[in-house]
Structure 1
Amino acid sequence: MKHDKVKLGFIAAAMMNIGGVLVFSRAFTNSVINEFDPVVMSNFGLLMIVVWGLAYLGAAFIESNVKWLAGAFAIEKLVYVIAWVVWFTEHSLGTVYNKDLFAGVFYSIYGLNDLVFMLFFAWVFFTQGKKVQGS
């Protein structure tokens, strides 16, 4: 049962990365996202988020221990959470919403999404390989 939860979690993380970027960036054509964070959220940066999503998807189908892979993913998500918090200290979300609704929603939720999946990947890291009671 635990493997099914892990697999579904990895698939959900993949879909959020891939789908989220493609929807909110309007398939990399929403320049407002780039404008408000030209380093992390450049089109190259957004493409790399999609690539991370592909890595999560690939990891979902690994049948053996993914402890250290999940640990690396947790650290990667931590970096994005920190980038998001720093972004909020330097920008006004209202200004983004005034320029583009999709960009505003993107900047509102991406860090929270990354926090949730960081916790999921950390959970996998800390529990992978341990015998779960009742399974």
Structure 2
Amino acid sequence: MLNSSLVKQGFIAAAIANISGVLIFSKGLTNTALMEADPVVMSSFGLIMIMVWGLAYLGAAFTPGNLRWIAGAFAVEKLVYVVCWLTWFSRDNLQAVYEQDLFAGIFYSIYGLNDAVFMVFFAWVYLKSASAAKG
């Protein structure tokens, strides 16, 4: 059985992580070191879109009913960010980012781990919702 309160809290936590994380570590979308370290994924547009995803998680948190497919889509979205983060680590220098800006360094140290945690959460919601639908 899927605990709807836990699911709601998880979706809200994901929203808070995306929105507040971007605003804090990007210093209100002004942290050029963060954006320059990965100008494709973490451009100002990319950071805004991360916050839009946060709004989608928040909307889902207050949506009654089965969230199976939206949770599945969110799990895939988080997987994409985890892969981007791992790719970034394989080709870029975290120490150089820390030397430019502490907040950018912390952001690149943790964002993929954060996304991995929420990816597992969303996948769990998807899988539990699928098994609950089977009876």
- Give the TM-score normalised by structure 1: 0.95
Distance across 1 between alignment mates of 2:107 and 2:33 = 10
Amino acid at match of 2:11: F
Match of 2:28 in 1: 27
Structure 1 residue 72, shift from structure 2 partner: 0.2
Aligned to 2:12: 11
Residues 12-38 of structure 1: CA deviation (Å, up to 9, x unaligned) = 000000000000001100000111100
C-alpha distance in 2, partners of 1:52/1:64?
20
Following TM superposition, by how much is the alpha carbon of 1:63 offset from its aligned partner in structure 2, in angstroms? Answer: 1.2
Q: Secondary structure at the match of 1:128?
A: helix
Q: Which residue of 2 aligns with 1:66?
A: 67
| CA distance, structure 2, for counterparts of residue 128 and residue 10 of structure 1 | 15
RMSD: 1.0
CA-CA distance at 1:130 after TM superposition: 3.8
The SS at the match of 2:42 is: coil
Task: Report percent identity of matched pairs.
Answer: 62
Contact 1:10 1:57 in 2 (8 A): yes
| Structure 1 segments (4+ residues) deviating >4 Å | none
Ranges in structure 2 where 5+ consecutive residues have no aligned partner: none
Give, in whole Å, the separation in 1 of the partners of 2:67 and 2:9.
14
Code of the aligned partner of 2:52: V
1:44-63 maps to which residues of 2 (within 5 A)?
44-63=45-64
Assess if the C-alpha contact under 8 Å between 1:70 and 1:125 holds in 2. Answer: yes
CA distance in 1, matches of 2:130, 2:119: 19
User: Aligned partners of 1:37, 1:92: CA distance in 2, in Å?
Assistant: 11
Task: State the Cα distance separating 1:76 from its structure 2 match.
Answer: 0.2
8 Å contact from structure 1 (residues 32, 96) kept in 2 = yes
Residue in structure 1 matched with residue 98 of structure 2 by the alignment: 97
Aligned to 1:120: 121
Cα offset, 1:92, TM superposition: 1.0
1:87 aligns with 2:88: yes
Distance in 2 (alpha carbons) for counterparts of 1:129 and 1:44: 34
Letter in 1 for 2:35: N
Q: Which runs of 5+ in 1 are unaligned?
A: none
What secondary structure sits across from 1:28 in the alignment?
A: coil
